Amino acid sequence: MKRYKQFNELIVSDFETDFWEHPLHNHNHFEIIYIAKGEGVHHLNKRLVSYKTGHLYLLGPEDEHEFIVFERTRFIYFKFTNFYLDTKDIDNPSNWNRDVDLILNTKASSTGNILKYKKDRKLVENLLGLIVIEYERNEVLSKKIIFQFFKGLVLIIKRNLLKDSKLKPQLKKATNTTEELLEYIEVNIYNPKLLAQKEIANHFNLSPNYIGIFFKEKVGTALKQYIQEYRFELLQQRLKNGQSSTKQLALDFGFNDESHLHKFVKSYSGKRLVQLKGDFSAVD
């Protein structure tokens, strides 16, 4: 399979075509693709899904895709590398990093159109139109202006991903179902205090011993182990996708300090944090 490599941290393009020239491929970057007009089929991760005006796609480096154009289509592309996610211009890096974690690590974003709210289609088109204008203008402060628009785009994507009931942070009144337990963990993964077995048991009005037994029986993994694996997976994704400092990582993931973070990484993976970062340095 062909793999496209992008070395600029950001490339924006706006074009129309009657025929898709690129074979099935993946990339070393992320792509936000908006269908401004037209229709056809999107061959995405071994699935054929229809696309039409107003659809939006978010693809990661390992997602494979190609388009089959039925009707002349206008594509707006926002292609960015890991380095574009640098938090140096963010007022609240923790919130920004969590939003980025959500949109980049949610499987729903790589299975089809992610715009669930019809009213957001015009917002996305307007935002991307402004981004295209500023990108082509390329004057003083253009990069900063584009990044501000991008932050708005991230929030719109987040809102649409949260429309999926499995991702909503507002939990229904709890019963002792596996789905609700997993949802609770996902929502509170950045707050270790709320993931103590006693706190989870209190939330679901169950005994701490029973919640552990129930989880192991239904999921096949001990509750604490599952939480640690999930936190470690998110941490690995952050190291791979972002440029967060050790201090920021400790803050975002609820560790007491950087030393606590280092101990967690060492105890869980057998590696030091610098080694874990090194593992991703060679990744396309």
Domains of the chain: 2-161 (2.60.120.280), 178-281 (1.10.10.60)
pLDDT score at 252:
84
What contacts 132, CB < 8 A, 6 or more positions away?
Answer: 12, 14, 76
Q: Take residue 213 and report the two structure tokens written for it.
A: 């037994």
DSSP assignment letter at 189: T
Stretch 266-273: mean pLDDT: 79
Stretch 239-264: mean pLDDT: 81
In terms of Cα–Cα distance, which of 239, 174, 238 is closest to 202? 174
CA distance 158 to 63: 19
3-state percent helix, strand, coil for the chain, nearest multiple of 5: 50, 20, 30
CA distance 154 to 91: 15
Cβ atoms of 25 and 53 within 8 Å: the answer is no
Single-letter code of the amino acid located at 142? S
- Asked if pLDDT for residue 199 goes beyond 70, the answer is yes
Single-letter code of the amino acid located at 238? R
- Asked if pLDDT for residue 271 goes beyond 70, the answer is yes
Rounded to two decimals, the pTM is 0.70
Q: What confidence tier does 283 reach under pLDDT thresholds 50, 70, 90?
A: very low
Range with the largest mean pLDDT of 9-23, 221-235, 248-262: 9-23
Q: What confidence tier does 18 reach under pLDDT thresholds 50, 70, 90?
A: very high
CA distance 30 to 166: 24
pLDDT score at 183:
79
Give the other-Cβ count within 10 Å of 9's Cβ: 15
Cβ atoms of 227 and 195 within 8 Å: the answer is yes
Q: What is the mean pLDDT of the chain?
A: 85
Range with the largest mean pLDDT of 75-84, 99-108, 184-193: 75-84
| 47-65 burial: b if 16+ Cβ within 10 Å, else e | eeeebeebbbbbbbbebbb
Cβ atoms of 42 and 51 within 8 Å: the answer is yes
Q: What confidence tier does 94 reach under pLDDT thresholds 50, 70, 90?
A: confident
pLDDT score at 241:
64
Range in 52-66, 74-88, 154-168 the model is least confident about: 154-168
DSSP assignment letter at 23: P
Stretch 140-157: mean pLDDT: 95
Stretch 131-156: mean pLDDT: 96
Cβ atoms of 73 and 67 within 8 Å: the answer is yes
Give the other-Cβ count within 10 Å of 131's Cβ: 25
CA distance 54 to 269: 43
- Asked if pLDDT for residue 115 goes beyond 90, the answer is yes
Give the other-Cβ count within 10 Å of 202's Cβ: 14
